[in-house]
Structure 1
Amino acid sequence: MALDNYGDRITDISIFGWRVNAEGTLTQSFDPVLLDVYRAKWPHIRWWGCFRNMDDLVDGPFAIFEALRNSATARNHLADEVQSKMFEAYPWLHGVDLDMESGGDFRSAESEEVFRVVTNRAHSLGKKASGALPALTATGSVGGENWVRYKQLGEILDHMSIMSYDFAWSGSAPGPVSPGFWLEDVYDWASSQVDPAKISMGLPLYAYFWSIHDYPESWGAARRGVSGTYYSAWQYFTGARPWSDTGTHHPIGWICYRDESSQTLWGFLDVYDWKEPTQWDQSVGVYSGVFANRNYAVRYGQPAGIPQWSIADNSVGSTYAEYSMRPDPVTASNGDLVSPKRGYSLTMEVIQRDPVAATIIDDYSTSQQQLNTIYTQPSGAWQFSQITESYKQYRGSGTLRFNHDFGNQRLYAMARFQFATAGRFSITSQGITADLTNTGQLRLMRGSTVLASKQVGAQRVGGDPQVGRCVLALRVRDGSARVYFSNAETTVPLQLEAQATPPGGPTEYGSTGTAWIDHVYLGDAWWYMPREALEVEINGQTQILGRIQRTGVTWNEKNQFRPNTDVDETETRETGISLDWVYTHWKDIPVNPGVETPVRVRILDHDLWLGRIHVLDRDGASIVYLTDATTITHWRSRAHFDWSLAGIAMWSLGQEDLRIWEAFEGGHLPAATRRLDE
């Protein structure tokens, strides 16, 4: 219908109609003859034949991509297939569109050969080649598609549509599918690498629904999210149909909000009251912040134990935040004043984090006084450096030793640092050493004996402050040692381990070259502090939400736990920690319609982020993000004015708010802008 009525506003259509397998053979999955009537009606439209490495009945997408990268025979066969099954079978095709996804990390040159061979064949036949490419910023792809190099692919292809959508998706936390800050980063980077006239901004036409009333396994799902069209969301938000067709819900119209960053609509279905985490009535020891346009509340841990060098008591104490929630009845589409048919649940948004070693010292390169008090310098020279108003470093070389004799206490020591010059950075505790060279050699040693080693990739040398940081950590217990490494402190995975009896000695950091340290952490090697749970009190009843189940551990009165055997903390739990917003639930809470009820939240674990609080229908409620005409016209204007792109590429025809086409009438700019120009 959209193509029939509004084809005059469309310049190009990619026919998603072929699959490629590992041998380079194309299988047609759509009959392009069905488009003959539209080709006749709209002769200006350029039609592209698109093949994809998804949905193969035998091989997965990565296996297909890998086979084509590895085999010149398969690539040449693919070019033959494009020639015969696309261009010779349908000579009216303007070009070929390659939708190659799930390529993984960094095999860029080999990946580009797939595009080069197909493009060369298209050019030899007087045809064009385009690529549907994953979204990338200067720092990489959020989906792990780090084989993509815009500059090199832009030199091969005639055009590229960047798939800048699904930043939030069915398996993620709810959020804009194409958030504004991300689109800006993607197209700032893409337009710096490729002629903008070759680029179309990929935009979503669909909606996502994330169910937030219960855990997905309760309704037999693995994920909270499902996709839908604009009009499916429109039906729910206008009350044209209820959230569920099973008779458990009323047809209710719910309010939508406009997300300022993405310009998409969003809203709640069957949520009867909600609060931002910053909207507390009263609080003690709770702080607030903003990250990625989202508010959060948090309880911070103590940076050191009292007395000095003891383990800090980071239990919740008297800290709390209290919110007033009032789930008022609402008007259904038939005019009735209604509430949930079977009661309410409470849903809390939280960001959980991996447990940390129970804190002894947590030092963000605090001051020169801290440097002089907490550490000694048996060799070399370290100095405090104030980089910006809020960012600081310890800079130097040689040894930076904790100014305390720990005796036989088993410790976990970590440092986040960067190589200002080439060299080796090390952490030593009780005679066990973890060290890393700037070339990427990671070692675990007892004295001078190497117990284990591996390559983790070369590290940047000489970058600006905060550029090229890495995280190295060492855990020493009575008969074992473990080394952890990452390029970000959010998660620092285990890299090396060995059985080793520590011979004894101080705990210290060392650098053969100049290193810049911005975070030092010292904790107990056995005891951990979780960062995952909170307690909620409503009308005298309490529930603990977010606590991860563990086996083989012992808890103490300070909300700390330790494994009963010498295993890593991750081995005590089956549940992963996502570092994204997750939803915890208290079903059938003791509240009544129209009654204001205090909800007291005690953040049991430090560094847990609390997000929005929802009182909702126990039998179903959702957060929905949807793209409408305003979203698309906004980003089309920005594509033109901010980056001078060729246009926008929308996924996919038939999912859209049809008012988009009315807004597009008359040319490449929204009607209001066009009239101003005239």
Structure 2
Amino acid sequence: MRPHRGLFTWTFIGTYDMYDRLNRFARKLSHVGLFNFRVQADGTITGQVLPLDEQARLSHPEIEWYLTVRNDGYRSVFTALVTDPSARSTFLAEIARLLDTYPWVAGIDLDLERGPNEYRSQTTDLFRAVADVVHARGKKLHADLPPKQGDHSPWWEEWCDYGALASILDTCLIMTYGFAWAGSAVGPITPRSWLEATYDYAVTRFRPEQIFMGLPAYGFRWRLDKTPQELGRTYRGVGGPYLPFLDWMQGTNTHTDGLHDGQPATETQPHIAWAGIWDEENWQTRGLFHVYDVLDARDFSLTSPAVSDAWGNRRYFASWRKDRLTTFEGVAVDRAGDSYDDHEGAVIVEPYEEHWAAVVHPRVWHREDEYIATGNGRWETLYDPVTGEPMGDEWVGLTTFMLDFAPVVPGSETIYLNGRPTNEYRLDYDTGLLTFDEAPAEGVDITATYDYTEVEGRALYNLNVAQGGTYDLALLVSFPWFDKRQLAVELDGERFIVGGPGVVEQWYPLFQTPHWIVVARRALSAGYHTFRLLGTDLGSDPGVRLYRIVLASSVTQEVVAGSGSATVHAQPLVDRDGNPAYPYQNRFRVALEWLRRAPDPAPIWGTRWTEYPLGALSNPAYRVSGNWRIEEYVPTDVGSGTGNQDPGAGTGEGGVGTSGGRALRGLGTLDLDYDGFTDLVVTANVVPGGGTARCGVSHAGYRAALESTGRVVLCDGTRELASAPAAYAPGVLRTLRLRLRNGLADVWVDGEHVLGPVAVASRTGSTGLFAEGGEARFTAFLVGDAHWYMPMEAIRLRRPDGVEEVVGRVARTGVEWNEWGYFRLLDESQEELDTRTERFSLDWDYAASQIFALAPGAYPLTVRFEDPGVWVARVYLGDADGFSEAHWADWETHRRYADLAHYRWGLAGTGFWALGMEDPKLLPHLPDQT
């Protein structure tokens, strides 16, 4: 074998053409796996060496020939071999039989996939037992292993322990292909970043000379205009060898030729030669077949609150929240909140971003006054009490001082003399008169701290209406915290409560955001009208901000989540014969590449620490006990509930995403500075540390925790209510969720329901995070309502033909909707999943519009978000007869990755799946092995 240029492949295809290539290019191959042997659940192995295999091995003895023993991905078979002693014994005997039957082979190639993750060490024991059988006969054990980027990453390959297998296997091939597959999102079969992360890790566990880099020799084509169900198959994509993709590029194939996707042969689609687009980032080719235009997120102009961002190699635009779009007509009065005509008491003016607001403050204020006992007295002449003669002058200090503000809250004061508290005084709480028992000496520092009560706040605005009529009263307000959610106001003596319970619930989407509320509609005469902002005695919560007061003939409001608009082009092309080509009957469809999620609890509070400053946590939103700080953090090992997407906004089904950046790290407790929440769902991404004994989430004294003992527990304070086994490993990110609803508690780990329902008391209390015994990291902390759900699934598409349609709304039963587009279950003994039959992909997915006609030209297209949490990455305009995107490997793919394997990691070589699929130019371009 040529050093670092070994080449492994398999006889999976089994065609005459494959054997012809094998014989013609045998000098290029170092290892060949005869892909004929399948293991059953009882351990027996079926299959044999075929006559053409026998001819090839006799003709090419320089090749190392292996018997590939496979389970074809059946987890039940793999699990039986690991856990059933009888099946394992039979399997080992069958391995021995094969080696005795074919003594000329170099060894066994184990292709066991989708192993039992709960039996990691036992799986290693199985490989060790096979190695003992193989090595006893002087043969080699090779294995085809899944790509891993950490000891416990990805979670679905937990069974595979690179570090343990390194001392067992002679060689291995890591199958760094199939990242994109028939059931995945469109994308490169082998993304380079994924491949690099895999081998950067692999060479820390294996010796480089043990490793072959697995590469694809095939590709996938994904239909974008129809769902798999409409296509009559399980997956959107279909895989195939290189040559069919060449046929698409040459215009031989169409979606209506009767040869693809089960579609009838209508031959209505033109035969167009499509260019292959080289993906320089991933060293593969991309094809867009019968796609007339494609837009990505950078092509869209956005309206608030939509934003643009990136995840991995995809740009996208999305919305994270809902807003209330307010439109005014016939504005008669527009007054700033800080421009009152008169005020008294506990009303102040304060800035907030670009606005100034009138704010009703608490009547009780805290003060600190300071005095120096200098000049607060007089010199008096002393006289002899007997003779009456003058004896000299004496300084007589004053014993009384007047505090700056009154009335004083009884008992709130502390009086200091030169920094030391004293009780030798009297204080008139009504007037603020402070009297010392003895006058302080000259120069003594007197400090008084106290709370005083201000008169109730009022602000008066005289609103001049030029013309009589019927007007809407609208206020621009902000509710800055959960206990600050209503204002009391008057218009011409009629009192109104703005916000408050029933309007501003704990899940209210516009907390901490200035927004308009329409208070009332009233008939008003021409002239002045009195508007008053009232104090806490009449219903205002202290701290609520009033920015503007508007009287308008009409105020309309609409709940929005933002939108994106772009221009799409439908232009004639040219077919392979040089004739103009355009879709049959001008029929098009728009397809979206998007990410949708299962509904999340209606959000109340969400913290991801990426924008927090590094260092000790300092935020008035939290009460902190212990040591908590923000630090840089990039997750390497993640648990099983996070999927392949961001938290950035939840994974649905009980999880949040796992983006890197910064994390909260600490020991102790961290709670929100509010104890009034009722039924809640509390979720966190948590990474236990090496010394962490217990860490998790809490509400109202109830705790859901991961324990270092390998359990998840539900506690009421220190009293354990329930427990269950849970995978636990320091450094591994897990998603933990606690729900308290209607007197029942439930717990999820990585999206799996593990505890509950457990009967608990319904109560309010603090909500937060905790870590005991040692520090833990938290990458996300989310608090949601336990009754209302926020869907993250639908958009409203304004197509190029000007027609609007809603795309993605899921059909549900047994739910009630509110004005914000949230819903709740009518029967809360059910789960949200019970209300629908549709399931959500954890990957990028595709949805197409209805068919429409479109003449050549440029047209506007708008994506309006019906829900937050929907990400849109690309928008395709394609032929309604069918359109696809494809990605495939060619000879240049293999050449570049082979160089990387050699020069970056010093690997043994490469391998490709599979012989007979490859670009015909591949093998001629590879070096000979000898």
Unaligned runs of 5+ in 1: 55-59, 461-466, 487-491, 669-678
Residue aligning to 1:51? 69
Superposition deviation, residue 30 in structure 1 = 5.0
For residue 181 of structure 1, give the secondary structure of its aligned residue in structure 2.
helix
Q: Structure 1, residues 588-619: CA drift from partner, whole Å, max 9, x if none?
A: 13532x21110011122222211110011222
Distance in 2 between residues matched to 1:21 and 1:478, nearest whole Å: 49
Change (3 A) 1:665 1:478: closer
Q: Which amino acid letter does the alignment assign opposite residue 373 of structure 1?
A: P
8 Å contact kept, 2:699–2:767:
yes
For residue 176 of structure 1, give the secondary structure of its aligned residue in structure 2.
coil
Q: CA RMSD in A?
A: 3.0
Change (3 A) 1:99 1:437: closer
Q: Structure 1, residues 120-173: CA drift from partner, whole Å, max 9, x if none?
A: 333333322211222222154558232112232222222212222111111111
The reply to whether residue 363 of structure 1 matches residue 572 of structure 2 is: no
Residue aligning to 1:631? 893
Superposition deviation, residue 496 in structure 1 = 2.3
Change (3 A) 1:306 1:278: farther
8 Å contact kept, 2:706–2:726:
no
For residue 519 of structure 1, give the secondary structure of its aligned residue in structure 2.
strand
For residue 174 of structure 1, give the secondary structure of its aligned residue in structure 2.
coil
8 Å contact kept, 2:702–2:717:
yes
Choose 125-134 or 416-425, whichever is displaced more: 416-425
Q: Which amino acid letter does the alignment assign opposite residue 473 of structure 1?
A: R
Distance in 2 between residues matched to 1:171 and 1:469, nearest whole Å: 26
Superposition deviation, residue 202 in structure 1 = 1.1
Change (3 A) 1:284 1:254: farther
Matches within 5 A, 1:288-307: 288-301=308-321, 306=479
Q: Structure 1, residues 64-112: CA drift from partner, whole Å, max 9, x if none?
A: 222322355544443443344x344333322221212221204233323
Distance in 2 between residues matched to 1:305 and 1:573, nearest whole Å: 36
Superposition deviation, residue 587 in structure 1 = 2.0
The reply to whether residue 495 of structure 1 matches residue 754 of structure 2 is: yes
Distance in 2 between residues matched to 1:154 and 1:433, nearest whole Å: 41
The reply to whether residue 506 of structure 1 matches residue 770 of structure 2 is: no
Superposition deviation, residue 625 in structure 1 = 0.9
The reply to whether residue 524 of structure 1 matches residue 785 of structure 2 is: yes
Q: Structure 1, residues 617-640: CA drift from partner, whole Å, max 9, x if none?
A: 222111111110000111111111
Q: Which amino acid letter does the alignment assign opposite residue 580 of structure 2?
A: L
Residue aligning to 2:83? 70
Choose 496-505 or 174-183, whichever is displaced more: 496-505
Change (3 A) 1:608 1:134: same
8 Å contact kept, 2:663–2:779:
yes
Choose 567-576 or 214-223, whichever is displaced more: 567-576
Change (3 A) 1:316 1:302: closer
For residue 23 of structure 1, give the secondary structure of its aligned residue in structure 2.
coil
Residue aligning to 2:846? 583
8 Å contact kept, 2:620–2:673:
no
Distance in 2 between residues matched to 1:298 and 1:276, nearest whole Å: 12
Q: Which amino acid letter does the alignment assign opposite residue 162 of structure 1?
A: I
Superposition deviation, residue 469 in structure 1 = 4.3
Choose 188-197 or 504-513, whichever is displaced more: 504-513
Distance in 1 between residues matched to 2:155 and 2:749, nearest whole Å: 22
Q: Which amino acid letter does the alignment assign opposite residue 645 of structure 1?
A: L
For residue 184 of structure 2, give the secondary structure of its aligned residue in structure 1.
coil
Distance in 2 between residues matched to 1:554 and 1:188, nearest whole Å: 51
Distance in 1 between residues matched to 2:901 and 2:719, nearest whole Å: 59
Superposition deviation, residue 37 in structure 1 = 3.9
The reply to whether residue 173 of structure 1 matches residue 185 of structure 2 is: yes
Distance in 2 between residues matched to 1:317 and 1:302, nearest whole Å: 6
Residue aligning to 1:595? 857
Residue aligning to 1:397? 668
Distance in 2 between residues matched to 1:480 and 1:397, nearest whole Å: 26
Choose 124-133 or 525-534, whichever is displaced more: 124-133
Q: Which amino acid letter does the alignment assign opposite residue 125 of structure 1?
A: R
Distance in 2 between residues matched to 1:609 and 1:569, nearest whole Å: 22
8 Å contact kept, 1:532–1:605:
yes
Q: Structure 1, residues 387-413: CA drift from partner, whole Å, max 9, x if none?
A: 58963537452462532534xx43333
The reply to whether residue 475 of structure 1 matches residue 739 of structure 2 is: yes
Residue aligning to 2:679? 410
Matches within 5 A, 1:252-263: 252-263=272-283
8 Å contact kept, 2:30–2:929:
no
Unaligned runs of 5+ in 2: 1-19, 258-264, 324-476, 483-503, 511-557, 634-659
Superposition deviation, residue 276 in structure 1 = 0.9
Change (3 A) 1:402 1:569: farther
Residue aligning to 2:874? 612
The one of 133, 144, 162 aligned to 1:121: 133
Choose 339-348 or 146-155, whichever is displaced more: 146-155
Residue aligning to 2:589? 345
Distance in 2 between residues matched to 1:25 and 1:386, nearest whole Å: 53
Q: Structure 1, residues 559-610: CA drift from partner, whole Å, max 9, x if none?
A: 1111112133222222222221011110213532x21110011122222211
TM, length-normalised to structure 2: 0.65
For residue 885 of structure 2, give the secondary structure of its aligned residue in structure 1.
strand
Change (3 A) 1:458 1:161: closer
Matches within 5 A, 1:418-497: 418-419=687-688, 421-425=691-695, 427-430=697-700, 432-445=702-715, 450-460=720-730, 467-486=731-750, 492-497=751-756
For residue 61 of structure 2, give the secondary structure of its aligned residue in structure 1.
coil
Distance in 1 between residues matched to 2:32 and 2:616, nearest whole Å: 65
For residue 39 of structure 1, give the secondary structure of its aligned residue in structure 2.
helix
8 Å contact kept, 2:684–2:781:
yes
Residue aligning to 2:56? 38
For residue 658 of structure 1, give the secondary structure of its aligned residue in structure 2.
coil
Q: Which amino acid letter does the alignment assign opposite residue 353 of structure 1?
A: R
Distance in 2 between residues matched to 1:583 and 1:361, nearest whole Å: 30
Structure with more of its chain in strand, by fraction: 2
Change (3 A) 1:404 1:372: farther
Change (3 A) 1:505 1:43: closer
The reply to whether residue 149 of structure 1 matches residue 194 of structure 2 is: no
Choose 95-104 or 311-320, whichever is displaced more: 311-320
8 Å contact kept, 2:666–2:771:
no
Distance in 2 between residues matched to 1:384 and 1:155, nearest whole Å: 41
Change (3 A) 1:375 1:284: closer
Residue aligning to 1:5? 24
Q: Which amino acid letter does the alignment assign opposite residue 483 of structure 1?
A: V
Change (3 A) 1:374 1:114: closer
Kindly name which structure, 1 or 2, has the bigger radius of gyration based on alpha carbons.
2
Superposition deviation, residue 316 in structure 1 = 5.6
Residue aligning to 1:269? 289
For residue 810 of structure 2, give the secondary structure of its aligned residue in structure 1.
coil
Superposition deviation, residue 16 in structure 1 = 0.5
8 Å contact kept, 1:137–1:189:
yes
The reply to whether residue 17 of structure 1 matches residue 46 of structure 2 is: no
Distance in 2 between residues matched to 1:312 and 1:637, nearest whole Å: 56
Residue aligning to 2:834? 571
Distance in 1 between residues matched to 2:794 and 2:740, nearest whole Å: 28
The reply to whether residue 313 of structure 1 matches residue 509 of structure 2 is: yes
Distance in 2 between residues matched to 1:613 and 1:139, nearest whole Å: 38
Q: How many positions carry a matched residue from both structures?
A: 645
Q: Which amino acid letter does the alignment assign opposite residue 529 of structure 1?
A: M
For residue 584 of structure 1, give the secondary structure of its aligned residue in structure 2.
strand
For residue 192 of structure 1, give the secondary structure of its aligned residue in structure 2.
coil
Identity over aligned pairs, percent = 29
8 Å contact kept, 1:211–1:225:
yes
8 Å contact kept, 2:793–2:867:
yes
Q: Structure 1, residues 310-329: CA drift from partner, whole Å, max 9, x if none?
A: 43437862722111111212
The reply to whether residue 547 of structure 1 matches residue 809 of structure 2 is: yes
